[in-house]
Each structure stands twice: as structure tokens, then as C-alpha cells.
């Protein structure tokens, strides 16, 4: 058993903590590791795991959770493995202690866990070492990814079985969600997006009823603008064949259930994007927007591998709709949705095949554990 320190700085939203928390729990529960998670914004953790509290130190889900504040004191015991999530820069005092540990012949394994991307360069950079200029300590870049030459994706051992034995109807009922039997049930987790107006109108006019579930979050401001009033949590809006239901932001565990219970999932960022893939259901990704349209390159790189084995018609329809959704193409979305939904059966099969193909790859936590076990500094 090793000790691990995971450092997480929350830039915004829930992805940074979502990934770190999932990793910390999995290392503890499945690999019997001893994990401390240092997080600078406990409120974001409380949102996805409401039994945690705003305390400087606590035990939660088998993990020691610490509030990461500025005052790190010398003498802190450095872990065997130090994970700096998303290049968050570990505290200088902690770094000094890492140097001391090295001087005692017990160099910690230092890993920068990077963001997920399907771009080709990831394979080249995964496991790349770099010497820290001031201390000479070696830091290794660990990249999650979709191919065997990357670090893989976070996936708990029991996930697929839990998904396959899940009963959607009772869970939905327990959440106060009662879609019509013939409705297409959609979950909608996305950033602000003006394109929602044309999508809502398309769903209102569609021949098949659409029941759209919106967890509390950013997309609601765009929805409010589109429908002309605030859609409060717990309330429902109906127009034509559309039923729009605002639901609470659920726990990270319940979010999986929401994805499993829906026919189509709109996901975003990084962690919900991966969970959408494990749900093996059709999904639409709202990628985290970056300057100079860098995110569009990233989106296309994923679409490229995701649709590699799709039929040409599905491939074309997915490209059009995903790009429209990400580029805020008002008006454009109606036609591209109608085209995509024609291929729903094919899309469902494709989603399952894609998920199964990813299952061949070892998961990220196991890869990290194996890497650290092999490292001799």
C-alpha cells in the first residue's frame, strides 16, 4: 500500500474536483491505497458529494480530505505518490519537503495528471518525464485517453455491472420524474448556449414527445431566455410535444443513474463526458470553451475517433449536430437534429459498441497504480 497526496485547484465548475474525487475514491476502494485529497474549494466537492462539509480536515468516502489553503507548514509528511492535477502547482513548502525526502533516498513519485484529449500528440506526451528546474525532481506527465498508448479513462470495477442491472423506472419515479411512456427522455448538462432556443422549438414541434431533464446549472440561463421566464428547480415547462423539467443537481453517484435512465445525454467538460460514454447511450458533448477555438480542434479529434466505425450517414449527422451545438448555430440545429434522430437506432448501437471498445483498455487508476509500483527513483 502506498500513500498518495492529490492536489486539486478548482478553476471553475465541477470537472477538476469531479475527476480528483473519483480518482481518490477509486484508489482507496479498489486499490487499497491511503489517499489525502487537498482541495482549495470545498464547496464544489460538497455539490457533487453532499455528505462532505466545509471543514479543514475530514474523512469522506474512505479519503482524507483537506482544505488546501495558503499556509502549508514545513514538516508535513510527503506521500509516496504526489499527484498534481491539471498542472495546479503544488505548494513550495511541500516541494521543499519532497526534496528532503529525496535526500533521504525516498524520492516520491511526482505526477502531473493532465486533461483528457483525443488528439494524436497525447500518445507522444503520455508518461513523458520532465526535470523540475529548481529541484531536479522528476515529474511525469500522465495523460488520460482513449487509446492503449494513453493512461486510459477513470472507470470503477463495478460500473458496468451496476449500469446493466439498473432499473430506470423506479429510480426516475423516486426523483419525481414521470415521463410519458412514448417519450424520448433526454438529460441536458451544458454550458450557456444560445442554440438551445432552436432545439427547444424543434422538440416542441417533433412528432415524438421529448421529456428533457435539466439539472441545476449554467444552461438554465439560456433556457430562461428562450422560454421567457425562470425555470426554477422542480418546475416543469410544456410546449407542444416538449416537457422540460428542471431537477436538482444530484450527487456524482446519482448522476450516473440519470445518464443510464435517459435515451440521450447532453454532457459537457471532462468527467460527465466520460460518464456519458460509460452509459453506452447516445450523447452530445458540449466541450469546455477555450480561447482561439482550441476546443474545436479537440472536439474534432474526438469526433474523428468516436465515429471511425460509424456508418457514413450517422458519422455525418453526428459531426453536423455536435458542431452546431458547440458553435451556437442558432436556427441550424433544427435540420441537423432531425437528421440525427433519423439514425437513433444506429446511434444507440454505435454507443454500445464504442463503450465496449473502450472497455478493452485498462482504467486510469489501475494504470497509475501500476506505473507507481514500477517506478524506482
Angle between helices 271-278 and 15-31 (to 10 degrees): 50
Among residues 319, 322, 327, the alpha carbon closest in space to that of 289 is found at 327
Catalytic site residue from 16, 84, 254, 263: 16
Pairing of strands 283-286, 264-268: parallel
Q: How far is the CB of 220 from ligand TRH (least distance, A)?
A: 11
Q: Which is nearer to ligand TRH, 151 or 269 (CB)?
A: 269
Q: Which is nearer to ligand TRH, 12 or 124 (CB)?
A: 12
Total residues in contact with ligand TRH, by rule CB under 6 A: 22
User: Is 270 assigned a catalytic role?
Assistant: yes
| 244 contributes a contact to ligand TRH by CB under 6 A | no
Among residues 356, 5, 366, the alpha carbon closest in space to that of 151 is found at 366
Q: Residue ranges of the alpha helices (H) in 91-237? A: 92-103, 121-125, 159-164, 168-174, 196-204, 219-227
Among residues 141, 125, 74, the alpha carbon closest in space to that of 101 is found at 74
**The binder of ligand TRH chosen from 13, 202, 241, 367 (CB under 6 A):** 13
| 11 contributes a contact to ligand TRH by CB under 6 A | yes
- The answer to whether residues 22 and 252 touch, using CB atoms and an 8 Å cutoff, is yes
Report in angstroms the alpha-carbon separations of 116 from 78, 85, 220, 279. Answer: 27, 12, 26, 18
* Helix or strand holding residue 284 (H, E): strand 283-286
Within 10 angstroms of residue 370's Cβ, the number of other Cβ atoms is 12
CA distance 236 to 231: 7
Beginning with the edge strand found earlier in the chain, give each strand of the sheet holding 34-39 in spatial order: 57-60, 63-67, 34-39, 3-8, 81-85, 109-113, 138-142, 128-131
Catalytic site residue from 256, 263, 270, 363: 270
How far does Cα 11 stand from its chain's mean position?
Answer: 14
CA distance 367 to 150: 9
| 249 contributes a contact to ligand TRH by CB under 6 A | yes
| 112 contributes a contact to ligand TRH by CB under 6 A | no
| 8 contributes a contact to ligand TRH by CB under 6 A | no
| 173 contributes a contact to ligand TRH by CB under 6 A | no
Q: Which is nearer to ligand TRH, 15 or 145 (CB)?
A: 15
| 255 contributes a contact to ligand TRH by CB under 6 A | yes
Q: Which is nearer to ligand TRH, 143 or 189 (CB)?
A: 189
| 15 contributes a contact to ligand TRH by CB under 6 A | yes
Site string for ligand TRH, 288-307 (x = CB under 6 A): x-------------------
| 61 contributes a contact to ligand TRH by CB under 6 A | no
**The binder of ligand TRH chosen from 4, 68, 142, 189 (CB under 6 A):** 189
Range in contact with ligand TRH (rule: CB under 6 A) among 5-13, 138-146, 199-207, 226-234: 5-13
* Residue 47 CB contacts under 8 Å (≥ 6 apart), including other chains: 14, 249
**The binder of ligand TRH chosen from 183, 250, 296, 300 (CB under 6 A):** 250
Q: How far is the CB of 268 from ligand TRH (least distance, A)?
A: 5
Q: How far is the CB of 50 from ligand TRH (least distance, A)?
A: 10
Binding site residues, ligand TRH, CB under 6 A: 11-16, 18, 48, 189, 215, 249-252, 255, 268-273, 288
Residue positions annotated with a catalytic role: 16, 270
Amino acid at each position: 500500500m502506498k500513500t498518495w497526496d492529490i492536489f486539486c485547484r478548482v478553476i471553475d465548475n465541477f470537472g477538476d474536483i469531479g475527476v480528483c474525487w473519483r480518482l481518490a475514491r477509486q484508489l482507496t476502494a479498489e486499490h487499497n491505497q491511503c489517499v489525502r485529497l487537498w482541495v482549495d474549494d470545498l464547496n464544489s466537492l460538497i455539490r457533487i458529494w453532499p455528505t462532505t462539509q466545509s471543514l479543514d480536515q475530514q474523512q469522506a468516502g474512505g479519503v482524507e480530505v483537506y482544505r488546501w489553503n495558503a499556509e502549508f507548514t514545513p514538516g508535513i509528511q510527503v506521500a509516496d505518490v504526489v499527484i498534481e492535477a491539471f498542472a495546479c502547482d503544488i505548494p513550495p513548502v511541500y516541494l521543499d519537503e519532497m526534496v528532503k525526502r529525496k535526500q533521504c533516498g525516498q524520492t516520491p513519485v511526482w505526477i502531473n495528471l493532465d486533461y483528457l484529449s483525443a488528439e494524436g500528440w497525447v500518445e507522444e506526451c503520455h508518461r513523458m518525464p520532465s526535470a523540475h528546474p529548481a529541484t531536479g525532481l522528476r515529474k511525469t506527465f500522465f495523460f488520460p485517453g482513449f487509446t492503449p498508448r494513453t493512461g486510459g479513462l477513470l472507470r470503477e470495477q463495478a460500473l458496468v455491472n451496476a449500469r446493466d442491472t439498473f432499473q430506470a423506472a423506479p429510480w426516475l419515479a423516486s426523483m419525481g420524474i414521470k415521463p410519458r411512456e412514448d417519450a424520448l427522455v433526454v438529460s441536458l448538462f451544458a454550458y450557456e448556449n444560445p442554440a438551445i432556443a432552436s432545439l427547444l422549438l424543434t422538440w416542441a414541434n417533433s412528432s415524438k414527445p421529448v421529456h428533457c431533464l435539466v439539472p441545476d446549472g449554467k444552461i438554465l440561463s439560456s433556457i430562461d431566455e428562450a422560454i421567457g421566464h425562470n425555470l426554477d428547480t422542480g418546475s416543469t415547462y410544456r410546449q407542444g410535444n416538449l416537457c422540460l423539467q428542471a431537477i436538482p443537481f444530484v450527487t456524482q453517484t446519482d448522476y450516473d443513474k440519470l445518464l443510464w435512465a435517459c435515451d440521450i445525454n447532453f454532457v459537457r467538460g471532462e468527467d460527465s463526458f466520460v460518464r456519458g460514454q460509460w452509459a453506452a447511450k447516445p450523447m452530445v458533448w458540449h466541450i469546455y470553451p477555450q480561447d482561439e477555438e482550441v476546443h474545436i480542434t479537440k472536439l474534432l479529434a474526438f469526433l474523428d475517433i468516436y465515429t471511425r466505425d460509424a456508418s457514413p450517414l450517422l458519422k455525418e449527422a453526428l459531426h453536423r449536430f455536435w458542431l452546431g451545438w458547440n458553435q451556437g448555430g442558432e436556427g441550424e440545429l433544427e435540420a441537423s437534429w432531425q437528421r440525427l434522430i433519423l439514425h437513433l437506432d444506429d446511434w444507440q448501437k454505435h454507443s454500445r459498441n464504442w463503450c465496449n471498445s473502450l472497455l478493452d483498455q485498462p482504467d486510469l487508476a489501475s494504470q497509475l497504480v501500476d506505473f507507481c509500483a514500477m517506478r524506482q527513483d
